Chains A and B, each alone.
Chain A
Amino acid sequence: MTTLVGTFDAGTVAAWRIGIQGLRAGEPVLRMIPTWYIGTDLDPAWEFPFKGQGWRVVVDGDVPLDTTIRFTWPTEEERSLVGYGNASRPVNAVPYVCAVRARHRHILRTAPDYCPLGLTSQQRPVTDKEYGPMKVANPEVTLDEEAHGFPTEARNTAVIGWNLVAAAHGDDGKQYWFNTGLMSLAEGWGNLDFWQMCVRSTPGQVVQPSGSVHRVAGSHPASQPSGTSRPVARSP
């Protein structure tokens, strides 16, 4: 088959399609299947919703639709201008896929039969062992944990802290919420020690501003004392 962008011999690839799905609870709720081809005389034969370029949009819902949107741009003319379109998606995706750390590649679910570059070989399933709930044999807290400093394997963004958040009732009839923390940060955070404390007392409420479509979380009134953080000079 001869086209404006070259000749395609019999037995070579003349068409491909890629399926992109959005899943909810493991079931597809959105699906897009772009199909790129230089001709419809294929072996094996593929079904095409129509000849030429365009989109078929099918909605299976309360208002079911099956619509076709056809481009009036002549296919041959478009093909001569952007004949590299087939390769652009996977080729442009290569650096981004390679940059994704292995543990996040499991979100890249590509259908193997639609994946010309074999990206599925990069997937790495997340195991329960890596992300399962933490269980400890002895849950008791000892002074060893209370006194623990930076772990021996600490990186430059290590952090240690002693923190607290509280909700309490005062003998003045008010309710108080407060938090405090004493923390030390490693060199990646600037070799910083700091402590902070904040107290809130007057409840706010969620309100619907007039004319808005959203509601606003009214925080504790700003007039009350709140507290600050205090960087502390670290001892040499």
Chain B
Amino acid sequence: MTRTDEQVAVDMESAHIRCTPDGTWHFSVEDKASGIAGEWTHTGNGFPMWYGKETPQTYVPHSISYGYIWAGKVEGTLTIQGKEVTIRGADQRERYYAVDACPAEVGAWHAWMWFHFDELSGNLDEMKLSKHKDMALYLNEEKRYVQAGDFRIDHHDWAYNPTTGTFVPSRYVVTTETEAGVLEFTGSAVGSHAASSVGESPDSPTILLDWPRVEGTFTHSDRRRQTLTNGLGGTLIRQWKPYPDLLVGGAQFQPLDVPRV
């Protein structure tokens, strides 16, 4: 990683990120082994949700972090097996620098969620084991940043996820209450990706759940109810441990060559 007055550059072989002062990250990634490459830009919307800035966030004594997650827009190209596709959508970037990262102790029911509409965007982070809830919203029209409130994530339509040997919620219903208003939205998974797992039971795998869309409303504090448009989002969950593999075929785990963090 190198820094100048104009940018911060992170380079690892054929993966590169350029972080610039205007709040954008520029990615250039090529994975020859899988035939995937991409050039895209993330632009954060408003302000991020901070894990820690002036002070660290202590989830548990063995998980102490600084950094942020930030929902925004993504635009660029993906090249898959030689075919280039222009893409446009939404995303969440994360800057993370941890004093200590111990997934086992962070443990159960970690939901790491982002959402982006034309009207607002934001992030939620809940770790039920450590009783930790963080959130941030940014309302575009009002240019209002909200980093306090409460939220509730309801899990529905549980289904067995063979790639991790776990049961996962496939539909999420989320309600956030802030002084600016109440945000309600739903997202349903159409796929998943085990982002970090040793693939053996017991483990605490992190699982990205892909949502094709997010539908929601925002009820302003003056009771004006607004239907939100062009919603995208997703979540990463960390479960306490896979469902007992002797019951539902967890022996089919595919070990992943990914460090367990």
Interface positions of A (Cβ within 8 A of B)? 101, 103, 126, 130-131, 133-143, 145-151, 153-155, 157-172, 174-180, 182-183, 185, 189-190, 192-206, 214-217, 219-220, 225-230, 232
Contacts and interface: CB of A to CB of B under 8 A. Distances in A.
Interface residues of B, number: 108
B38 interface: yes
B185 to A, nearest CB: 14
B167 to A, nearest CB: 7
Interface of B: 1, 3, 5, 7-8, 10, 12-13, 15, 17, 19, 21, 23, 25, 27, 29, 31, 33-36, 38, 40, 42, 44, 47-54, 56-62, 66-68, 70, 74, 78, 80-81, 83, 85-102, 114, 130-136, 145, 147-148, 157-163, 167-168, 170, 189-193, 195, 208, 210-212, 232-234, 236, 248, 256-259, 261
A172 B85 contact: yes
A217 B192 contact: yes
A166 B68 contact: no
Contact of A194 (B48, B59, B99, B259): B259
B33 to A, nearest CB: 5
Given A167-B233, A170-B87, A182 B12 contact: yes
B230 to A, nearest CB: 10
Contact of B52 (A131, A134, A137, A215): A134
B31 A230 contact: yes
The B interface, classified by DSSP as helix, strand, loop or mixed, is strand
B99 A166 contact: no
Contact of A228 (B31, B67, B190): B31
Contacts of A194: 12, 258-259
Given A145-B66, A197-B15, 4 more contacts: A134-B134, A163-B94, A177-B193, A217-B192
A197 B189 contact: no
A164 B148 contact: no
B135 to A, nearest CB: 7
A197 to B, nearest CB: 5
B190 A205 contact: yes
Given A134-B57, A192-B259, A145 B95 contact: yes
